[in-house]
Amino acid sequence: MTSTETPREADETRLRPVRAAADEPVEVRLTVNGTPAVLNLPARVTLSDALRDHLGLTGTHVGCEHGVCGMCTVLVDGEAARACLLFACQLDGAEVVTVEGLGRPDDLHPLQQAFGRNHALQCGFCTPGFLLSSYDLLANKPDVTDDELPAELSGVICRCTGYRNILTAVAETHRAHPDGIPEPGNCARRALVGRSNGQSATVPEANKPVADTAAKTVDIKLPQGEPTVAVEITTDLDVPFDLVWRVLDDVHLLARCLPGAELTDDLGENAYAGRARVAVGPIKLSFNGFARIVEHDRDTGTLRVLAQGQDTGGAQTQADITLVARPTEQGTQLRADAAVYLTGRIAQFGRALAGDISRRMFEQFAEAVKEAATSGEAPQTPAGAPSALRLLLSTLLDRLRRIGRRKR
């Protein structure tokens, strides 16, 4: 965007009015760098977050998040726009070009070549914004003069304080292509891979919504290496095994026992879609994801589930959970073995704290299973979103009680 043009975000004729709560998912169809994509995003997600966190296009940098610095400049329907000021849900049907679409590594766009030749890249943080803003300028104002370049390009702030090389690169490109700058050279149909474990957001050839197709073919792959949290916990329930297994045998009833979890769709072939919520003080995480039952054997009392979920802020969790129920003289022994992998904001918690919280959540789950097994119905008070702070306080109180008992 040049400094003299009307900001794209103010173009009310292009924006789609959307009436939705901030966290309410809205389906958005975009063509990004030539590839059609469909996303199901909360209304509050900006275009920059959608590009970076959901399509894996991290070339779009985010600086001030107020539309001032210009780092997040992309092309929307051929014109420069601040991606941090646009909600993705407003752009249904739009064509977006990011810096990744400008040129290929083996065939850079003339602007990219000129930036390299003239050392206009500098630290590189503002480079994507400058490249897209410069492209917009030369494409829409081919008669721009060298004297006008400083004002025209002032909409992007260079943190290195050195515009001279950038201006030289843009002027050189302008002189080399007096009849018009070449179009972006890396826009073609390809897979857009986000951060959700390789799930493609690309619209299938049949133009069928990805939400339907991808969910039914979801393939949950756990990361390699040690899990973030490993939980092994056993609890005794004074309820007969048959009644406990009846709960484990009913996926919908079982889901009602999971703290903060909600089953949203039965995808067939033992695959399910759902969401889970966790409140961490002022931070509320809402994960959308999938789960697949890979073992369900009443003879051994074993239920094994693989699950994965992603928060709109980029936090991810994956888990391999095995529940084993065994009859005892007093009722049923229920054991849980879970390997949990965390990335993003949720991974900021230490392993010990995350482990304690996971154990507390299992205790809540076990109590809910006991209630459901006894009554044959879903718990009267569905397990709500667990608060990490309350769980933390409970954990600390338990530790203090254990220390007190040892000192007696």
What pLDDT is attached to residue 57?
A: 84
The per-residue pLDDT of the chain, averaged, comes to 78
pLDDT band at 350 (very low <50, low <70, confident <90, very high): low
Phi first, then psi: what are they for 343, rounded to 5°? -140, 160
Q: Give the rounded percent of residues in the chain with a pLDDT score beyond 70.
A: 74
Q: Indicate the range of 22-26, 111-115, 165-169, 195-199 predicted with least confidence.
A: 195-199
Q: Closest Cα partner for 128 from 97, 86, 107?
A: 97
Q: Indicate the range of 267-271, 275-279, 313-317 predicted with least confidence.
A: 313-317
Q: Taking 60 as the threshold, does the pLDDT of residue 192 lie above it?
A: no
What pLDDT is attached to residue 347?
A: 58
| Residue 310 exposure: Cα atoms within 13 Å on the Cβ side | 16
Of the ranges 29-33, 316-320, 375-379, the best mean pLDDT one? 29-33
pLDDT band at 38 (very low <50, low <70, confident <90, very high): confident
Of 270 and 74, which is predicted with more confidence? 74
Q: Quote the CA–CA distance of 44 and 52 in Å, as a whole number.
A: 15
Transcribe 143-183 into DSSP letters: T--GGGHHHHTTTS--TTS--HHHHHHHHHHHHH-TT-PPP
Q: Quote the CA–CA distance of 369 and 383 in Å, as a whole number.
A: 11
Of the ranges 157-161, 163-167, 346-350, 379-383, the best mean pLDDT one? 163-167
Mean pLDDT computed over 28-50:
88
What pLDDT is attached to residue 279?
A: 61
Of 75 and 349, which is predicted with more confidence? 75
Domains and CATH numbers, the chain: 25-176 (3.10.20.30), 229-402 (3.30.530.20)
What pLDDT is attached to residue 218?
A: 57
95-97 and 25-32 as β-strands: parallel, antiparallel, unpaired? parallel
What pLDDT is attached to residue 338?
A: 86
